[in-house]
Amino acid sequence: MLRHSRRKLLASGLSLMAGPALAQGAWYPLFGADGREVPNFRVPVEIETEITELDNALLIGSAEADITITEIYDSNCGFCRRAARDIHAMVAADPDLAVRFINAPSLGIPSFQAARVEYAVKLLGGADKAKAYQAASMAARGVFDGIRGLAVAADLGLDRAAVEDIADKRETGQVLAQAARLANSANLAATPSFMLAGVALIGWPGRTVLEAAVKAVRQCDKPVCD
């Protein structure tokens, strides 16, 4: 996976990572703790559906939750790592909330390698081990690449060679290329990005803002009520 990764990653859609510019303005008046406007916009229903049905999705929280936030992340995204503890705390504090993680690598070859391994862990070890892998990548410092990913997979009790074999498959690259392509088409390539109630929020707005948006969706089906 590592020796031939550049050729394979380019063939599998790494060029999709340079996404289009974000739409100007904001659909709803959302502001972070620093007072800055949180970029947000409507996401076409068909694209939102495709993203939520991606094969590499990981869900934390109740499968019966009344609100599910979708987070688009990258294994090497610093703000994703910063947000991870708050995201898990939100789910722990709200039994009716779930978060769906979508790894859409956008920060280069190490991220694409790590995402390959993550998906291989899901296929070989199941969703729980994949979620443990994802948590390890969010707790990591520095570059989290395929080599570090394989070490995490081994720590989770999986056969390193078997994980690498699945990670190296063309089909694995196609799944991740599709995730990157859909994130780009929805202007969600900047990580982290969040979707709830058909609205995208770009960047980490902070736990307070995201919890307020969840509360508003429950009240009026929008992240900000009139």
Which residues does residue 199 pair with via DSSP β-bridges, in sequence order? 42, 196
What is the pLDDT at residue 29?
80
Question: Is 225 domain-assigned?
Answer: no
Residue 121 lies in a domain: yes
The pLDDT of residue 33: 73
Q: Which residues of 51-84 are buried (b: 16+ CB within 10 A; e: fewer)?
A: beebebbbbbbeeebebbbbbbbbbbbeebbebb
What pLDDT score was predicted for residue 25?
A: 59
Q: What is the pLDDT of residue 187?
A: 86
Residue 212 lies in a domain: yes
Rounded CA separation 115/66 (Å):
28
The number of distinct structural domains making up the chain is 1
Identify whether the C-beta of residue 15 lies closer than 8 Å to the C-beta of residue 176: no
pLDDT > 60? residue 81: yes
Q: Are 121 and 130 in contact (CB under 8 A)?
A: yes
Average pLDDT, the chain: 88
The percent of residues in the chain predicted with pLDDT above 70, rounded, is: 89
Establish if 226 belongs to a structural domain.
no
pLDDT band at 76 (very low <50, low <70, confident <90, very high): very high
Give the pLDDT confidence score for residue 28 in this predicted structure: 79
On whether residue 57 sits in a domain, the answer given is yes
List CB contacts of 11: < 8 A, sequence separation 6 or more: 173
- The pLDDT tens digits of the residues spanning 135-185 come to 999 999 999 999 999 999 999 999 999 999 999 999 999 999 999 999 988
Q: Give the percent of the chain with pLDDT over 90.
A: 72
How do strand 193-196 and strand 199-202 relate by DSSP bridges? antiparallel
Confidence of residue 1 (pLDDT cuts 50, 70, 90): low
Amino acid 7: pLDDT: 42
* Segments forming the whole domain that contains residue 118: 5-220
The per-residue pLDDT for range 6-64, each reduced to its tens digit, is 444 433 444 344 333 344 457 778 887 777 888 899 988 888 999 999 999 999 998 88
Give the mean pLDDT of 78-85. Answer: 95
DSSP symbol at 104: -
Residue 32 resides in a domain: yes
Query: CATH number for the domain including 118?
Result: 3.40.30.10
Determine the average pLDDT of the residues in 215-221.
95
